[in-house]
Amino acid sequence: MSELLYSKTFGSGRPLIILHGLFGMSDNWQSLAKEFGQFFETHVLDLRNHGKSFHSYNHTYDLMCLDILYYMNHHGFDKVSLIGHSMGGKTAMLFATLYPNRVNKLVVVDIAPKYYPPHHHAVLAGLQDVDSAQITDRNQADEILKSHFADQGIRQFLLKSLFWQSKTNLSFRFNLKVLQEEIDHIGESLKKGALFSGPTLFLSGANSDYISQGDEKLIESHFLDVEIIEIPKVGHWIHAESPLYFFKQVSQFLIY
C-alpha cells in the first residue's frame, strides 16, 4: 500500500492536482497554485523521494501513479484535473491512460511520451559532490555545483531543496541515492497503445528541446483530444519563466 504524499492545498472548487519535475517539490509551484486556487481546490504534491514526501527504494512511474491514486482515494476524489511538468508530466500522462475515468482534464508541461536517454550526468555529479561535502551554507553548495555546470537557473532550482538536516549540516530533501540509481526509469516512454481520450493540453517551451516538431504525431497517437501550444521565449521551466502566460493558457483550458 502507498503512503500518503505530502501536499499543500489552496482554494476551493473542483479538484486540481499539480505534479513537479525531477529534483523539484511542491514549493516550486506554490505561487501558481494560489492563482489556480481562485477556481479550483488545488493540491500541489511532493512526489515520492522528493520534498517532504516519503523516501522509497523504488522510483517508477507505475508506483508514482499508485501514489496519486491512493492520494485521490484518501481525499474522496472521483475525478481530478492534472498538471504535470517534466517527470510529473510523464506521471500525469501514464495516470491518465491507466485511469482515464479518474481524470477530467490533463495538462502536460514540456515533456513528450517518448524515451529520453539519461542526460543529467553533470547535475548528478554536482549533487553528489555537494552531498559528500557536508556543506554549511548555500554559497558553498552553489560553488560546488558551478564547477559542474554553469546554468544559474538550474543551480538555483536545485538549491531550493536544501534544508538544515542538523544544526550544522545542510542536505537535499530529495532522495539523491535512489534517484541516481533509478535515473534510467525517468526517461521511459509511454507504452504503445496507451490512450487517453479526455481533453488534453501539451505546452512546450520554444527554447527547450524536450518536445520537437516530430513529437506531435506521437502525442496525437496517445491523446485523442489534444492541443499542442508552443510558448515563445521560454525553456523547460515554462511555468517559472512565463508564469502569467502559463496561467492564462492553462486556466482557460481547465475552466472552459
For 147, other C-beta atoms within 10 Å of its C-beta total: 12
Contacting residues for 173 by C-beta, under 8 A, at least 6 apart: 25, 50, 51, 52, 161, 162, 163
Q: φ and ψ at 24, to 5 degrees?
A: -95, -170
Structural domain boundaries in the chain = 7-116+187-255, 121-183
Q: Which CATH class is domain 7-116+187-255?
A: alpha beta
What amino acid positions are annotated as catalytic residues?
Answer: 86, 236
pLDDT recorded at residue 119:
83
Give the closest residue to 64 by CA, choosing from 92, 102, 97, 23: 92
pLDDT recorded at residue 1:
59
pLDDT recorded at residue 169:
83
pLDDT recorded at residue 165:
84
Q: What is d(CA 13, CA 11) in angstroms, rounded to the nearest whole number?
A: 7
Residue 174 C-beta-side C-alpha neighbours within 13 Å? 26
Q: What is d(CA 75, CA 61) in angstroms, rounded to the nearest whole number?
A: 21
pLDDT recorded at residue 153:
86
Q: What is d(CA 214, CA 170) in angstroms, rounded to the nearest whole number?
A: 43
Q: Which residues of the chain have pLDDT under 50?
A: none
